[in-house]
Amino acid sequence: MNKQKHSMQPIPSHDEAVRQDFVTDFRAFLTDELYPKITPYYKSRIEPEFIKEHGRTPEDKMEVQNVMVQDSAYQSWSFLQRISQQMMFTSVIDTVERTLEDLIKKTKEYSTLGSLELDPAIQIPRYLTAYDIHQQPGGYHMENTKNDISAGVVYDISLPIYSNDAMGDENDLLAQATINFIKNNINTMPKKILDMGCYIGNSTLPYVRAFPESEVHGIDVAAPGLRYAHARANALNASVHFSQQNAESMSFESNTFDIVTSCLFLHETSHAAIPKIINECARILKPGGWMIHLDVYPFQRSVVEPLYDFLKDWEVTNNNEDFSGALREMDLQGIFEEAGFSKETIEFTSAEASSETNKGYTGDFYLKLPVYVAQKMA
């Protein structure tokens, strides 16, 4: 059964394919059938008990959490949600393991466009080695064999399962949102673009397509992702220059790029890393160049309602996303100003994309995600 979207992806066997299909339907079942029951359940069962005991409703997310983790109905949903992610990975790893040798050989054929520069001496930051982000076994950086690409392949073929096919054939709907934002709000014809934390380049390639005159670079610390990214870009006929670098300290010369961007990258770093990364963005941008990061909602703590706050951070606790909760509370405005971005250009706004206008997207999927935008002083 052919789930292959480009020639660097493996073809699953019959049983592997339907095993993966089950995970897609399992996740849809959790989202569509069980998740909507949680808020009514909380309102009718959990909150009244809390009021009886404390004479008031819970004040914050922590108070909600304390009662919810004691409740077996909620915990059952939460556990199912957690293992659906584990089942997603185990069901695609079978396919990757079986086909890996051939795929690694194939990377040699797919290497003419763009470039790939690896740095065997690079130190993988602790925020990526302490635990496996998103529960991907081995994390994004693990080398299981020579010239390994397995973690990159696993990531590429699990994304459609994770997103219920909403991300498109090239897994690029998120970057489409950033590009829509750039085209609608920033008057620029970028000559050089950098995507930080690019991993397999699924959010990097859309820049090649949207700005065909530009030179597009992608950096990441994880070699298995970059090797795969380069072969994948070739399979999709796109030229990108990939290099293995840490965004906290890059080898690019100052004043090089017109646009520096990232996609769901900042929340995978750390408190200490964020100011360094932002300083580096300011350094390598040309005067007047733009920084645009698509990421989680900032400054959300004081708002809405404790149950919503609690549920919104589900992935932080349950899907190995420790820093994404903390990122929301950082003073990004201050960090951007300190790094040399013009105060009046700093914006925390949102970017939108819709699946109907692009090929390869199933159904009508609309997406609105936060972007952090700032312009380097001219």
Partner 1 sequence: MAKKIILPRVAKGKNLVYLDDNSVDNILAMVMTLTQEISVLTDRLNTIEHLIAKNGQIDLDDIDNFEPDYQLQEKRSERRKSLLKRVLLPIEKALDSK
Contact residues for partner 1, defined by CB under 8 A: 1-2, 13-15, 18-19, 21-23, 25-26, 28-29, 33-34, 37-38, 41, 44-45, 72-80, 82-83, 86-87, 89-91, 93, 96-97, 100-101, 131-132, 135-139, 142, 144-145, 150, 154, 317-318, 320
CB of 259 to partner 1, least distance (A): 34
Taking CA 230 as the corner, what is the angle to CA 225 and CA 232, rounded to the nearest 5 degrees?
85
Q: What are the φ/ψ torsions at residue 363 (nearest 5 degrees)?
A: 70, 180
Q: Is 123 exposed, middle or buried (0-12, 13-18, 19+ CB in 10 A)?
A: exposed
CB of 81 to partner 1, least distance (A): 10
Is the CB of residue 140 less than 8 Å from the CB of residue 199?
A: yes
Nearer to partner 1, 44 or 357 (CB): 44
CB of 244 to partner 1, least distance (A): 21
Nearer to partner 1, 78 or 269 (CB): 78
Q: How far apart are CA 3 and CA 107, in angstroms?
A: 19
Q: How far apart are CA 232 and CA 168, in angstroms?
A: 15
Is the CB of residue 171 less than 8 Å from the CB of residue 164?
A: no
State how far the alpha carbon of 99 is from the alpha carbons of 24, 105, 225, 228, in Å.
Answer: 22, 10, 17, 14
Nearer to partner 1, 89 or 336 (CB): 89
- Which spans in the chain are helix H? 14-29, 35-41, 47-54, 61-68, 72-109, 126-129, 150-162, 173-185, 205-210, 223-235, 273-284, 306-312, 314-318, 322-327, 332-339
Is the CB of residue 198 less than 8 Å from the CB of residue 121?
A: no
β-bridge mates for residue 352, sequence order: 368
CB of 197 to partner 1, least distance (A): 19
Nearer to partner 1, 45 or 54 (CB): 45
CB of 42 to partner 1, least distance (A): 10
CB of 78 to partner 1, least distance (A): 6
Nearer to partner 1, 87 or 277 (CB): 87
CB of 284 to partner 1, least distance (A): 32
Nearer to partner 1, 136 or 262 (CB): 136
CB of 14 to partner 1, least distance (A): 5
Q: How far apart are CA 374 and CA 277, in angstroms?
A: 14
* Identity of the residue numbered 55: G
Nearer to partner 1, 131 or 366 (CB): 131
Nearer to partner 1, 33 or 356 (CB): 33
CB of 156 to partner 1, least distance (A): 15
Is the CB of residue 218 less than 8 Å from the CB of residue 228?
A: no
Q: How far apart are CA 8 and CA 20, in angstroms?
A: 18
Nearer to partner 1, 25 or 59 (CB): 25
Nearer to partner 1, 2 or 302 (CB): 2
Q: How far apart are CA 301 and CA 297, in angstroms?
A: 10
DSSP 298: P
CB of 310 to partner 1, least distance (A): 15
Sorted by sequence, the CB contacts under 8 Å of residue 376 that are 6+ apart come out as 282, 285, 286, 287, 288, 289, 290, 291, 340, 341, 342
* Ramachandran quadrant class, 139 (left: phi over 0; alpha: psi -120 to 50; beta: rest): left
Is the CB of residue 294 less than 8 Å from the CB of residue 369?
A: yes
